[in-house]
Structure 1
Amino acid sequence: MAGELPEYYFRVRENGAAVFRVDTENRQRRIEMDQIAVVNIRNGEIKPQGNRQLSENDLGVIRDWMSERKALLATRDMDDIHRAIDHLNLTTQWAQSRATTAQLEDVTDDLLLAMHDLRSVLVRKKADRLMKEDT
């Protein structure tokens, strides 16, 4: 393997990661990964594995990763929303110019309900923001 391996490896899971310490300084010169913790980025919980005590360095690296991961996920969320706007526009163009009657029949009710639900949430949230600005 070219280059230096990191000291820690984070196996991403749905709400966080399993944290491993990477070791290449063994007799067989193999890569060994020892799981040291499980982290939950939603609630900030860091659970050491087994009877392990995490060092301040371990905790610092884990907290830094959690912070970077939260920022990455927030960026991805906004990118997904902007893509959804593009998809809505493309769907509108498709419905207007290329969709067959059968295709429209297949998707119209689902699209209308989803758009109605989205519109209701957006209008309510906008009204809440405007009310806060007035107070």
Structure 2
Amino acid sequence: MSTELPEYYFRVRDNGAAVFKVDTENRQRRIEMDQIAVANIRNGEIKAQGARELSPEDVKVIKDWMEARIALLAARDIDDIHRAVDYMNLTTHWAQTKATDDQLEDVTDALLMAMHDLRTVLIRKKADRLMKGREDVSDDD
């Protein structure tokens, strides 16, 4: 474990983080965290805490964290979707090889509705992309 503490600490919240400045340069050599701002990744807003004014370095560090956090959450989202595909395949295998009639009766309607809803959205989105692709090609002519 590193003995050097970061200068900033981000306490993650649903839509961003509370931002703290970390201080160990005090007489008691205790770790003190002073909240300096709240960062909202949904709207990009950074609000200084209380009457504090954020330095350009503070703002840069917070914006860099926000960009990294947005990228991390996007990567997690796509990873979750890839896992959902795996779960669908495992569910198919379960239904075909292990499921009892009672188990299938319990889940069939819910699965069929969810799959129908997903299929409808995916087809509509794919059609939109194909139409947009055609428009882009015809605009280039």
The TM tier, using the shorter chain, reads over 0.9
Aligned-partner SS, 1:46: strand
Distance (whole Å) between structure 2 residues aligned to residue 78 and residue 35 of structure 1: 32
Query: What is the CA deviation profile of residues 53-76 of structure 1, one whole-angstrom value per residue up to 9, with x for unaligned ones?
Result: 100000000000001111111111
| CA RMSD of superposed structures (Å) | 1.0
Residue 90 (structure 1) aligns with: 90
- Unmatched runs of 5 consecutive residues or more in structure 2: 136-141
Compute the TM-score of the two structures, normalised by the length of structure 2.
0.93
Q: Which residue identity is paired with 2:118?
A: L
SS at match of 2:22: strand
Tell me, in whole angstroms, the C-alpha distance in 1 between the residues paired with 2:117 and 2:16: 30
Counterpart of 1:122 in structure 2 is 122
Q: Following the alignment from structure 1 to structure 2, what is the Cα–Cα distance between the partners of residues 109 and 91?
A: 14
Identity of aligned residues (%): 76
Kindly state the Cα deviation for residue 2 of structure 1 after the two structures are TM-superposed.
4.8
Structure 1 residue 27: Cα displacement: 1.1
Measured in 1, the distance between the counterparts of 2:44 and 2:5 equals 26
For residue 55 of structure 2, what is the amino acid of its counterpart? S
| CA offset digits 1:6-63 (Å, max 9, x no partner) | 0000011111111000011111111011111111111101011111110000000000
**For this pair of structures, how many residues does the alignment match?**
135
Q: What are the ranges of 5 or more consecutive residues in structure 1 without an aligned counterpart? A: none
Distance in structure 2 (CA, Å) of the matches to 1:2 and 1:79: 29
User: What residue number does 1:42 align with?
Assistant: 42
Amino acid at match of 1:113: M
